[in-house]
Copies of this chain bind each other. A is one copy, B any other.
Amino acid sequence: MSHIELGCPRCGRSRAADMSDEGCLDCGSPLDVVYLAAGKTLPGTDVPTPIHEPRAMVTLGEGNTPCVLLKALGERLSLDGLHAKLEFMNPTGSFKDRGTATMLSVAREFGVDELVEDSSGNAGASVSAYAARAGIKSHIFVPAEAPEAKLRQIRAYGTEIHPIQGTREVVTEAAVAYHRERGLVYASHMLSPYFAEGTKAFAYEVVSQFDGIRPDHLVFPVGNGSLFIGAYNGLREMVASGRIDKMPELHAVQARNVMPLVAAFNDESWGPDDASKTVAGGISVAAPSRQWQIVDILGKVGGSAVAVDEPGILSMQRHLAEIEGIFAEPTSAAAFAGLEELKKAGVIRRDDTVVVPVTGFGLKDEAPT
């Protein structure tokens, strides 16, 4: 018997674990992993995992990223305890590898030998790499006009790449149609319960890197929200087990050009038609499939959702590189721009401890303009 099942975070209904892309049969929400028995943990850690045989997992050594104090940038933002967790130091250069390692491990356990994913960036590269490592054939659907630098990495790992003309939503529809026609598994980083669960170790590492003391705030760039949701689930487990005294405040940052979550959380009027191009490609998600869940978490943790403009993102990308030696994707820089707003608004105070993930490597993107 499996030690997990899949549960709906919205209405609570559950079903046996599988690799289907079907959401909750009652309300349609994407599902989460629910543990029926304790004991399975990621190798070398005590982080619960949905993987049935963790020692045989598909891994490239993801995780265990450094968390460094940003003294110089902290001084500019009047923050004494600003830390960056360098998630770009993962095997394909982004935090996505945490989620992919878990998703592909479970996929291999379910006997999957061919799968479909759609992405224009980090998730595509990550799934392409881990599928190669797992010996699973992959099809990655990408926007035909995606940046060449991103496509090049996705292609390098030998996936079958399917360029699709049209919006990001059209690309997803093409991937879904293909997986249904061919009877292949849809291993979506947006929908998979295993993917979000795989990012949870991020939170465990943060707490261990602060010698068991939780930071006061975590500030995330949020698109589909898999790291945000995973971190919340990990922190919730640690509160439940008494490892930390209470939940830190979690904040979500989006680009003003694509701000569905900020609008939903702050009751502002915004629709996908209001979206325009942003340099922060990793959070350019006009209709996140887990929007309800993210907004719900923000409410529970007393968090904030802030939008930042393009010049602010690019200027923060330069600061990070030039005064801290950290070459971040614009997406990651957006979180620091949001942090600046939160500091100005008094949500975060000078002596608070803050952690911001640097989710992707600047090398992966086009040259900043």
Contact = CB atoms under 8 A, between A and B. Distances in A.
Interface string A57-73: 00111001111100010
A157 interface: yes
A128 B327 CA distance: 11
Contact of A326 (B59, B91, B367): B91
Contacts of A64: 64, 66
Interface string A130-160: 1111010000000000000000110011100
A67 B72 contact: no
A325 interface: yes
Given A64-B64, A152-B367, A129 B361 contact: no
B157 A327 contact: yes
Nearest to A130: B325
Interface in A313-369: 318, 321-327, 361-364, 367-368
A157 B325 contact: yes
A67 B61 contact: yes
A115 to B, nearest CB: 14
Contacts of A368: 156
A61 B72 contact: no
A60 B67 CA distance: 8
A157 B363 contact: no
Interface string A171-209: 000000000000000000000000000000000000000
A287 interface: no
A89 interface: yes
B89 A90 contact: yes
A93 interface: yes
Given A67-B61, A363-B361, A156 B90 contact: no
Contacts of A322: 132, 157-158
Contacts of A65: 61
Contact of A61 (B86, B90, B361): B86
Given A66-B91, A132-B325, 18 more contacts: A60-B68, A60-B326, A61-B67, A61-B89, A64-B64, A89-B89, A91-B325, A91-B326, A92-B325, A92-B327, A129-B327, A133-B325, A135-B323, A156-B368, A157-B325, A157-B327, A158-B322, A363-B363
6 contacts: A89-B90, A92-B325, A93-B363, A132-B325, A157-B325, A158-B322
